[in-house]
Amino acid sequence: MTIAAGNWSPLTPMPGMDDSEFERWASLLEKRTGVVVPLARKAFLVTSVRGRMRETGRASFEEYFSELHRGADGAIEWTTLVDRLTVHETHFFRHPPSMDLIANDWLRCLPEKTKQAALHAWSVGCSSGEEAYTLAMVLDRHLTATTAAKVYFGVTATDVSLPALAVGRAGLYPRQKIEEIPIQYRERYCELVDGDSFRISEALRKRVGFASFNLLDAARAPLKRLDLIFCQNVLIYFARDRRRELLATFANLLKPGGLLVLGSGEVTNFAHASLRRVDNRNVLAFLRNS
């Protein structure tokens, strides 16, 4: 894309964004990703857009907005901007009760023939991969422990942020993050690279596939008959109606007996004819009816 530098210099003051301009940018983000930025978080949106404008020498919100709608260059620029406009905070074992539910309740009760047929999990809005690797560690460790036969499983990890997906694919994380991983998993699945970083073991990395995928296309997801859908800290950014539509889509993508695990704030008073709520007060989860 040609950079609209004009008379811009690093000292050019950045324009202010009035509320109607903010609405235009917030609507664009919602239309393209489902993520809602309320007026109370205007500063976050303005800082993110301005940051990218500074980097690329753009000085006008209006011009930048138009450029984003212009052909292939606009689409490429959007892939960078969307990463700045979305929140990527994530951790290994971010919500331990969810992992306990998967390991101690769900996996233990799965019929042996299901386990032997290969399990497929989806980490929805996986950010830089910590959640997907956590799922892979839990599945690997507990499937090996509970089944004599060699069990195949795979985790598909999807997000709209290309930089976050690249981190996930590399499986390389700052050393201090290893503290988030319980010791019994650390020893088995993590390798220290140097004083600053560690890597997820190759065997586990092979179980996790990362792909760019926009949740707004969930109804056309190239995934089906999933055993486990894990979606935490993603739908909270979406409008209520959109959350419910997505949950109905998730229900259709699950196999009978499949498990949907959500973050506790992801939805309230949700019910679906194909799903029954799992009786666990620490985890918001649903099982697909047989």
Ligand X SMILES: C[S@@+](CC[C@H](N)C(=O)[O-])C[C@H]1O[C@@H](n2cnc3c(N)ncnc32)[C@H](O)[C@@H]1O
**Binding-site ranges for ligand X (CB under 6 A):** 33-35, 86-90, 94, 125-127, 131, 159-161, 164, 214-216, 232-234
Our CB check for ligand X shows the closer of 151 and 171 to be: 171
CB of 90 vs ligand X, minimal distance in Å: 3
Task: Please give the single-letter amino acid code of residue 68.
Answer: L
User: Could you tell me which residues come within 8 angstroms of residue 102 by beta carbon, excluding any fewer than 6 positions away?
Assistant: 135, 138, 139, 142, 228, 259, 261
Of 110 and 234, the one with the shorter C-beta distance to ligand X is: 234
CB 98 → ligand X: shortest distance, Å? 10
Work out the angle between the directed axes of helices 162-170 and 71-85 (0-180°, nearest 10). 70
Q: Pick between residue 258 and residue 263 the one whose CB is nearest to ligand X.
A: 263
For ligand X, which is the closer residue by CB, 59 or 266?
A: 266
- The least CB distance from residue 210 to ligand X, in Å, is 12
Minimum distance from residue 267 beta carbon to ligand X (Å): 15
Give the nearest distance from C-beta 40 to ligand X in angstroms: 18
Shortest approach of ligand X to residue 234 CB, angstroms? 4
Provide φ and ψ at 103, rounded to 5°: -75, -50
What single-letter amino acid sits at 147? Answer: T
Alpha-helical (H) ranges within the chain are 19-33, 42-56, 61-68, 71-85, 96-100, 108-109, 112-116, 130-146, 162-170, 183-189, 202-205, 240-253
Minimum CB distance to ligand X smaller for 201 or for 233: 233
Closer to ligand X by Cβ: residue 215 or 275: 215
Residue 284 CB neighbour total at 10 angstroms: 21
Q: CA 71, 72, 73, 77 torsion: positive or negative?
A: positive
Whose Cβ is closer to ligand X: residue 105's or residue 180's?
180
Distances (CA, A) of 179 to 69, 89, 91, 184, 192: 43, 16, 10, 12, 12
Strand order in the sheet with 208-212: 208-212, 153-159, 119-124, 226-231, 254-262, 284-288, 275-277
Cβ distance to ligand X smaller for residue 60 or 100 = 100
**Rounded Cα distance, 55 and 84, in Å:** 12
A 10 A CB-CB count for 188 gives 15
Q: Nearest approach, Cβ of 92 to ligand X (angstroms)?
A: 9
Tell me the closest approach of the beta carbon of residue 33 to ligand X, in angstroms. 4
